């Protein structure tokens, strides 16, 4: 009787642990390329050394050896045709027991194998094949993989950490929010592979697309396009207005998992709604799942330069208000991701290897598609504008010059010297620190220090290289000597807390040797974080005669009763002051700030163990003398809740009343986990609180 294979053991638990994928699952084999894994074949009879045992791995609809999507090998040698790519290796392990028909193979996917789901078939020559499947991911632990990251602490942070921080607010006062990436939830396997399979490149050329998945440059660019839904069956719909009634407000999300689940469960229908930090958070999840080291980055005072001039022109009317958004504008902050990979397509010496900017927020098209990157951070730092991909756009986000103008009634415009500058854009570029819930400032990786000679040298070099550049005039204008006769500054007198009055001080100094009569306009506007005006809150006029050398302090008071009417419709506040002296020179000062929300507390009561009930306590005190209506509390946590827990038993909260809720859940994963609470109501929008908890095995 002919010998045959009775059973294949993929050793999912031990293999996945060795490949750092056991956090995803131990029920299916998930390995990383360039690293061996073991499989055991059990035969009906003793295995003879003369027997030929053949294994075949395939991926894609039409696998081929020339595309690197198919490889056949035996216990003797690979059986490759000329021109084969991505050749797998295999050897018989010494632990095999031939006389009992047990053959143990050590199989190694090549370090350039396409990532994705593979079928694996094993057969004795002339026998019936036995089929299994496995998933292959990028390997930042493997020297030969193009995503190799040498530092283990960084691998733990940028690949293995399921939680992170995303920074938001303004350059003046910024804050962080916890974000649950959840890349190791078991559903991510099917979701992330589906994301690749429905991308338009796969629909047009399935063979070429699957073969190209060996390259993290290609995969990162596909993911960047697929997180937004502008051109394809992507994950998220962007919305920068205030009407989210047919979806979820972007501020409500606390993590990526529920977004990706909704997309997948609804047959790849885009989820409503996202804004830049949501797009970036979801992309970071998918990148980390595939094994590409990834981190979320926030750029404060982020320029949106639509004409590649490297100069942003902004306008104020004669009353000091900022008119509606122009094509070019400055966002309080913008969030993207960085992925770690080699760039052999740019230079063999490797100077462009390392962190690459990828931006899934749909702003401008790249190659006819709404995506951005990968753009080497080093190329941005050096102003190398002529390299792939999208370096001019990212360079302007962190380094554009700003010219601000007053629009006169006759249609002319006058430059506001004190508000125009070359150093305002690209401040406090931030990402989560490795191994800590603290901020890492990475501004110096994007540009030389503002005001330094090298920063101007790089800017001028970038302007010359930029074939689309029209900004020479704007750049020169920014460098004109500013008048020094009048100085203005805005200083805070109280903290910027939501539900409390806001008090500032406008300091005006006459540096001239002559007296000056100043007509000063002070305005406060509710702003969206993208630089668009939401509402006018305050308008005041002051006429002051300043003696030579005199300093005048003008108090500014914005009552809560005034700005609270617009609390749900803006992200920050802009207070600006403009004045014109006897010579017609215009001076100004402005400050952008976000409001600090009242705190919400979340904690675990007692010990927490996997697969045992756990009690959570949430507390929130209404700080107002008014009833909070339409209250909604959402609790999330990877490994703690399989879906978002929404509490509806708190629809109203009376003045100064304290909400105290106890919620039960059963953790299904051990280790350090994060609980996140989101509280939304009529007066406050999506207040966040979080805590970490250790779940015992």
Q: Which residues are annotated as a binding site for Ca(2+)?
A: 399, 401, 450, 455
Maximum CA extent, the chain: 112
Q: Is the peptide bond before 389 cis (omega within 30 degrees of 0)?
A: yes
Q: What distances in angstroms separate CA 627 from CA 374, 598, 657, 682, one per listed residue?
A: 49, 15, 9, 9
| Nearby residues of 540 by Cβ (< 8 Å), 6 or more positions away | 521, 522, 523, 556
**Full strand arrangement of the beta sheet holding 102-108:** 5-9, 37-43, 102-108, 89-92
d(CA 479, CA 470): 16
Q: Which of 38, 19, 40 is nearest to 30 (CA)?
A: 19
Q: What distances in angstroms separate CA 394 from CA 284, 288, 373, one per listed residue?
A: 18, 22, 9
Please state the three-class secondary structure of 367-383 as a single string.
CCEECCCCEEHHHHHHC
DSSP lists the bridge partners of residue 448 as none
d(CA 300, CA 303): 9
Binding residues: 399, 401, 450, 455
* Three-state DSSP class for residue 260: helix
d(CA 278, CA 273): 9
DSSP lists the bridge partners of residue 120 as 57, 132
What the block records as the tokens of 95 is 């632990």
465 sits in the region (left: phi over 0; alpha: psi -120 to 50; else beta) called alpha
d(CA 262, CA 246): 14
* Chain centre distance of CA 329: 21
Strands 354-358 and 375-376: antiparallel
Positions marked catalytic:
276, 334, 359
d(CA 11, CA 95): 14
d(CA 398, CA 4): 64
**Full strand arrangement of the beta sheet holding 439-441:** 375-376, 354-358, 329-341, 294-304, 427-432, 439-441
* Three-state DSSP class for residue 238: strand
d(CA 442, CA 425): 14
* Three-state DSSP class for residue 207: helix
Q: Map tokens 């019936």 to a residue.
A: 128
End-to-end, the C-alpha distance of the chain in Å comes to 48
* Contact of 676 with 693, CB cutoff 8 Å: no
């Amino acid at each position: 009787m002919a010998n045959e294979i009775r059973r294949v053991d993929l050793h999912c638990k031990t293999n996945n642990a060795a490949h750092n994928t056991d956090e995803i699952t131990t029920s299916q084999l998930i390995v990383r390329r360039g690293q061996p894994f073991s499989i055991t074949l059990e035969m009906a009879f003793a295995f003879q050394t003369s027997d030929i045992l053949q294994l075949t791995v395939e991926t894609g609809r039409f696998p081929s050896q020339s595309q690197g999507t198919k490889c056949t090998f035996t216990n003797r040698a690979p059986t490759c045709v000329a021109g084969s790519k991505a050749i797998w290796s295999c050897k018989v392990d010494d632990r095999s027991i031939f006389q009992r028909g047990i053959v143990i193979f050590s199989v190694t996917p090549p370090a350039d194998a396409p990532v994705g789901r593979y079928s694996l078939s094993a057969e004795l020559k002339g026998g019936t094949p036995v089929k299994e499947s496995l998933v292959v991911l990028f390997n930042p632990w493997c020297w030969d993989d193009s995503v190799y990251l040498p530092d283990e602490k960084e691998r733990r942070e940028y690949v293995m950490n399921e939680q992170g921080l995303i920074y938001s607010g303004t350059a003046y006062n910024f804050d962080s929010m916890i974000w649950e990436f959840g890349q190791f939830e078991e559903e991510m396997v099917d979701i992330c592979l589906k994301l690749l399979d429905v991308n338009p490149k796969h629909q047009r050329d399935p063979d070429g697309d699957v073969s190209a998945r060996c390259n993290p440059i290609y995969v990162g660019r596909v993911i960047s396009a697929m997180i937004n839904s502008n051109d394809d069956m992507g994950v998220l719909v962007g919305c920068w207005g205030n009407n989210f009634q047919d979806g979820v407000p972007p501020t409500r999300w606390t993590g990526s998992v529920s977004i990706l689940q909704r997309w997948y469960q609804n047959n790849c229908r885009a989820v409503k709604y996202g804004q830049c930090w949501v797009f970036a958070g979801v992309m970071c999840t998918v990148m980390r799942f595939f094994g590409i080291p990834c981190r979320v980055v926030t750029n404060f005072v982020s320029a949106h330069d639509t004409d590649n001039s490297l100069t942003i022109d902004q306008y104020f009317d004669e009353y000091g208000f900022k008119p509606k958004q122009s094509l070019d504008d400055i966002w309080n902050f913008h969030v993207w991701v960085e992925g770690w990979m080699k760039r052999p397509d740019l230079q063999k010496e490797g100077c462009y290897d390392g962190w690459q900017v990828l931006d899934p927020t749909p702003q401008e098209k790249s190659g006819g598609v709404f995506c951005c990157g990968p753009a080497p951070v080093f190329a941005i730092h050096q102003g190398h504008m002529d390299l792939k991909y999208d370096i001019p756009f990212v360079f302007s986000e962190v380094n554009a010059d700003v010219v601000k103008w007053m629009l006169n009634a006759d249609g002319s415009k006058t430059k506001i010297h004190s508000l125009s500058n070359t150093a305002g854009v690209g401040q406090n570029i931030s990402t989560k620190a490795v191994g800590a819930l603290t901020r890492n400032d990475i501004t110096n990786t994007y540009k030389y220090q503002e005001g330094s000679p090298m920063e101007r040298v790089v800017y001028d070099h970038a302007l010359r290289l930029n074939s689309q550049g029209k900004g020479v005039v704007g750049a020169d204008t920014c460098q004109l000597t500013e008048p020094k006769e009048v100085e203005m500054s805005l200083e805070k007198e109280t903290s910027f807390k939501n539900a409390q009055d806001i008090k500032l001080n406008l300091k005006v100094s006459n540096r001239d040797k002559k007296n000056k009569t100043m007509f000063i306009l002070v305005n406060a506007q509710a702003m969206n974080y993208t630089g668009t005006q939401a509402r006018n809150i305050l308008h005041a006029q002051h006429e002051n005669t300043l003696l030579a050398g005199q300093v005048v302090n003008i108090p500014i008071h914005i009552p809560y009763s005034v700005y609270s009417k617009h609390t749900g419709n803006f992200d920050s506040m802009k207070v600006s002051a403009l004045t014109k002296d006897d010579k017609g020179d215009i001076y100004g000062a402005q400050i952008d700030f976000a409001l600090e929300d009242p705190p919400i507390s979340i904690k675990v009561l007692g010990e927490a163990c996997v697969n045992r009930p756990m009690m959570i306590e949430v507390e929130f005190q209404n700080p107002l003398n008014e009833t909070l209506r339409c209250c909604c509390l959402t609790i999330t946590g990877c490994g703690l809740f399989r879906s978002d827990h929404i509490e509806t038993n708190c629809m109203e909260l009376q003045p100064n009343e304290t909400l105290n809720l106890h919620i039960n859940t059963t953790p299904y994963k051990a280790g350090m986990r994060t609980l996140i609470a989101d509280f939304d109501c009529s007066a406050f929008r999506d207040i966040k609180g979080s805590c970490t908890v250790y779940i015992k095995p």
